[in-house]
Chain A
Amino acid sequence: MAFTVFFVSAWLIISIFAIIPKRLTIIENSFIFLATSVISINWTWIINEELKYVKITEDPANYAGFLIFRSIIIPTLLMVQLNLYDHSSSAMKKGVIFTVSVVCLLLLTILSRVLDISTYKEWSLGFDAIYYVFLHFFSIGVWKLIRKTTHNEVKHS
């Protein structure tokens, strides 16, 4: 069940990314996907495997659901969020997009607990919320850095 739910979620978020107007260039989207993947993979490894704050399922199908969430859903959702974020004209709209994106990740995290993918040991949803907020700010930081670099290079050429 967990595998199906997360596979469908990944399909949905990739489809949304495919149909939304892209405000970021392919280079910027690539940077966001790759940089947030690295953070997501390292974070889950340190929290789950090194510190053992969260126990991940040993059922192969459910574990595949965990991998899809960690390596596909999280980075793709952050790309979607940034494309919509840049498309928004007002700070209010930007704030709403940011919040909806964080809430989506939290709902999927709750779902992963309900479907027995993960079990909290010394962890809470609040910590995950802080992590997701950080991840969103991180992705915005990476995007601004790349845009600034690209802009400077165009100016100097």
Chain B
Amino acid sequence: MNFLWQTFDKNEITILILLTLAYTLFFILPYKFKREITWLLMLLGFTIGVFFDFTIGGGLIDFFTLNDTNHYELFDLCYYLIFAPFSYFFIYFYDMFNIHKKTFIFYILLWVIIGVSMQWVFTKLGIVEFQNGYKISFSFAVFLTTQTFTALYYELIRSGVQVLKRG
């Protein structure tokens, strides 16, 4: 059992590139939210990634393997860390484009298509390998759930708390 990586090849390199790009964009974008809201959105994305992966991607259900193996390794953690800034970007642009009742469905669908497309690319790069009858189309259900939940959760937070930085 190797806690670092099974073999260091294209999937590990892709994860490193994606991590770098995502966190660079995170630091480049002007800060919009209060500090604790930024942390919360990042933690929400990370937790959703961990929750779905360990629930349907492991254990008894085990619909996919990550990074060549069913064992937990460093790059699995790096993979989950990519979810954090993407959750932040999802809400960042949600707020920036002032998404409302008429545009909500389209905005969610756009991100679902981005999410499923990225997962398809991940399967081609060997980061994710489906098994036990899992099909890429099932990921629509996963992303529809996560993105809708994230947007509604943000609406709930925004209704009771000042989320944006002052000034």
Contacts and interface: CB of A to CB of B under 8 A. Distances in A.
Given A41-B51, A150-B36, A49 B156 contact: no
A81 B35 CA distance: 25
B115 interface: no
Given A26-B156, A153-B34, A34 B44 contact: yes
A149 B35 contact: yes
Interface residues of B, number: 26
A26 B54 contact: no
Contacts of B44: 30, 34
Contact of B54 (A25, A31, A45): A45
A56 B166 CA distance: 49
Nearest to A41: B54
A125 interface: no
Given A38-B47, A60-B60, A149-B36, A50 B161 contact: no
Interface in B96-128: none
A157 B35 contact: no
Main secondary structure on A side of the interface with B: helix
Contacts of A71: 51, 55
B133 interface: no
B50 A42 contact: yes
Given A34-B44, A41-B50, A56 B157 contact: no
The 4 closest A-B pairs by CB, nearest first: A34-B47, A63-B60, A34-B43, A41-B54
Interface of B: 1, 34-37, 39-40, 43-44, 46-47, 50-51, 54-55, 58-60, 70-72, 156-157, 160-161, 166
Interface of A: 25-27, 30-31, 34-35, 37-38, 41-42, 45-46, 49-50, 56, 58, 60, 63, 67, 71, 146, 149-150, 153, 157
